[in-house]
Structures are given as structure tokens and as C-alpha cells.
Amino acid sequence: MSDRDAIEETGAPKSAEYTDESILWEGKPSQIVNLPTYLWWGGISVAILIFKSMWDDGMATQYPPLVDLIIAWSTTGVHIVAAISMLYAYLAIRYTHTTITHNKIKEVRGITKIFRQELFCEISDVKDVKSPPAGLLALFGLASIVMETSDNDQPTIKIRAIRNRSQVVERFLPVWRELKVERRGYFSD
């Protein structure tokens, strides 16, 4: 006899199955989150390109060749740092994934398998669900969800820049409330 059969025979509620891992929602943040990073490093790169073109068009004539070499290496270094920063920002968001099932919230972060971090939180550990103002994300039809938990590994879960926030919250809240009521005796705060 399985645990499920035992629960059904005793007349205990059937809805709080601890093995139900059907997905309520899964998704990734939008790359719009990186817009400030792209604008910052893009602006610096354009400014460096303008300075370098002015330097090559005549400013360099009054300085010794060593200064010209230092300027060339410095501008190249800034372009490399800008490209690496923008690539890292892109990949960090690209490899962030959140899955909400009927029992758990799973967050996966990390660019490579070596640095990948998988964090799990029971839905019954969620204390509060907040929908902060979308701000500039609203211009792109995006919003965020913030969940405060009693989990030591994840005191705050932030699901950033997603579409249809209200639908995600509408799916999540009934399951969360049901689990809080049914598991209160075992996992209460």
C-alpha cells in the first residue's frame, strides 16, 4: 500500500500531496533587465571611440609615442572590459530560470555547470507575496514578484521582469493558501 492510498483511506485531504510536482509556472527574466548595463557600457564605448578618433586625427602629434601607445592599449582595454561586462550580464540573465510547482519553487542560476546554483523552497515556507510597482519595466509590459520566505537559503525570492505577473500570482496564491492551511500543523511558522 502506498502513502497515497493510506491518505485516501484515512479520509485526510487529498489536495496537499507532497509528491505533486506539476508545474504552475516557469520562466526566465527578460533581457530588458540588462538595459542599464548595455546603455552604460555602450555609452562608454562610444565616448572612447570618439576620443580615440580625435586622438588619431591630430591630438597625438604633440605627445611622445609612448603616450600614444598607452592611449591605444587603454582604449582597447576599456572596449574589452565593456564587451565582457555586457556578455556576462546577458549570460547571467539567460541562465536564470525559475520554476513554480505545486510544492516547490526552484531557482537555477549560474552560467556554467561549475557555478550553477539550484535553490529550492517549499511553497508552504513562503510568508508573503508582493508585487512591487513595475516602474520602467511597465513600458515593456513586464513586472516583478517578490516572495518573502522562512527558508534560510532563500529569505527572499525575486522573480524579475516577467510578462503576465497577475496571471502568475493568480495561479500561485490559491495553491499557497491551501498548502499553508493543510500543512500548518507540521510546518507552521
Query: How many domains does the chain fold into?
Result: 2
Does pLDDT of 12 surpass 60?
A: no
pLDDT category of residue 1 using cuts at 50, 70 and 90 = very low
pLDDT category of residue 3 using cuts at 50, 70 and 90 = very low
Same domain, 84 and 133: no
In a domain, 131, yes or no: yes
In a domain, 160, yes or no: yes
In a domain, 49, yes or no: yes
Tens of pLDDT, residue by residue over 125-159, are 899 999 899 888 999 999 999 999 988 888 999 99
In a domain, 138, yes or no: yes
Same domain, 132 and 180: yes
User: Which residue among 70, 92, 114 closes a domain?
Assistant: 92
Same domain, 88 and 139: no
pLDDT, position 188: 52
pLDDT, position 118: 92
Query: What is the pTM for the complete model shown?
Result: 0.77
Same domain, 127 and 179: yes
In a domain, 40, yes or no: yes
Higher pLDDT, 75 or 4: 75
Show the domain range for 160.
Answer: 123-184
Q: What is the mean pLDDT of residues 46-71?
A: 90
pLDDT, position 10: 40
Tens of pLDDT, residue by residue over 24-35, are 999 999 999 999
In a domain, 150, yes or no: yes
Does pLDDT of 62 surpass 50?
A: yes
Task: Classify 104 as helix, strand or coil.
Answer: strand
In a domain, 189, yes or no: no
Backbone angles phi, psi at 117, to 5 degrees: -125, 125
Q: What is the mean pLDDT of residues 92-98?
A: 94
Q: What's the chain's average pLDDT? A: 85
In a domain, 167, yes or no: yes
